[in-house]
Amino acid sequence: MRDHLAPAPAKRGSCFDPCQDYDGPTIGRGGIGPTRPPSGFFDRGDVVRALIFFAVLGFASAMGAVTITDDFDDNSMGSDWFLTGGNGNGLLTETNQRLEFTAGVPTGNDSQFWTWFGLPLQYASTDWEAQIDVTNLVNPSGVQYSGFGIQVYTNAGGGGLQYLSAELQHYGNGWEGFASYLGANTAFTPHIGVSAGAVRVVYDSATSVLSALYDIDPSNGYSWTSFASWGLAGSGGANGNVDWGMAPDSVMFVVPFGASTDISIASGELYGDNFSITVVPEPSSALFLPIAYILLRRRQKSLR
């Protein structure tokens, strides 16, 4: 038993918070890879896909929610995913019917992020929740660290990029558990000693609160335990509050990621699977989602 263990404090250089030294995924010029202008504003395929998708969404919204899933079984990141950024030699790849993180030659900050672009997650009018199964078989030592989870970010508030994360972590001091970060604020579970589980983030647009939850054994059905809640409008969170300064129509993005510090990560040691996101837009905002969807798709293409 190692109940006395606690995670080492986050610090710059060691990157125990995988984004401590990373300003988050950057979209557009100055980010990862070249950019090019869009070839045209509307694409016929985008319009057709949007009409079909939102005909289904409209029915689902009337029923209260729509859930989109990706089990990564086709070993190819689909059109709703966009490689956003990363650090060092970290690679996040859909392979072996899962989303694997690897780091061949380790550095002090290895990470990579994929952003889900399937549907706008509007700050003031959309309740949503996202989850992913996580496996962390890495055995770090010393200052080494490994983690896999979900990040939520926006750059719409005028204060630069803002992010929140929830992940399954292993530290070199033997601590293994779940952690959540909101800027400089941190929340950890006790030492659980697990190598697999699931993480979930839930957003309540009425209170502007994001909550982090975990499950240590999703193989027998999900049973969630909440361990952190964060207020994004300056209040409401049990573990911390910030003001992201977002407008009612500002959009958030969900980002699965893997990260490590000073340790080589081989295939099969750190990965996610069975991603899902459930969206509950207000009926009035659902009317505008086809247009927002097309605009996001055009922006996504312009950045590739």
Nearest to 21 by CA among 115, 90, 93: 90
The answer on pLDDT for 95 being more than 70 is: yes
pLDDT of residue 204: 97
Considering the domain boundaries, does residue 249 fall inside one?
yes
Considering the domain boundaries, does residue 290 fall inside one?
yes
Considering the domain boundaries, does residue 96 fall inside one?
yes
Domain that holds residue 278: 44-302
C-alpha 13, offset from chain centre: 22
Read off the pLDDT of residues 189-200 as tens digits, 9 standing for 90 and up: 999 999 999 999
Considering the domain boundaries, does residue 34 fall inside one?
no
Element (H, E) at 293: helix 289-302
Q: What is the CATH number of the domain that holds 148?
A: 2.60.120.200
Read off the pLDDT of residues 104-114 as tens digits, 9 standing for 90 and up: 999 999 999 99
Q: Average pLDDT over the chain, rounded to whole? A: 79
Q: What total number of domains does the chain contain?
A: 1
Calculate what percentage of the chain has a pLDDT beyond 70: 70
Q: Distance from first CA to last CA of the chain, Å, rounded?
A: 49
The rounded radius of gyration (Å) of the Cα atoms in the chain is 19
Contacts of 46 (CB under 8 A, 6+ apart): 294, 297, 298
Considering the domain boundaries, does residue 38 fall inside one?
no
Considering the domain boundaries, does residue 10 fall inside one?
no
Considering the domain boundaries, does residue 157 fall inside one?
yes
Considering the domain boundaries, does residue 212 fall inside one?
yes
The answer on pLDDT for 78 being more than 70 is: yes
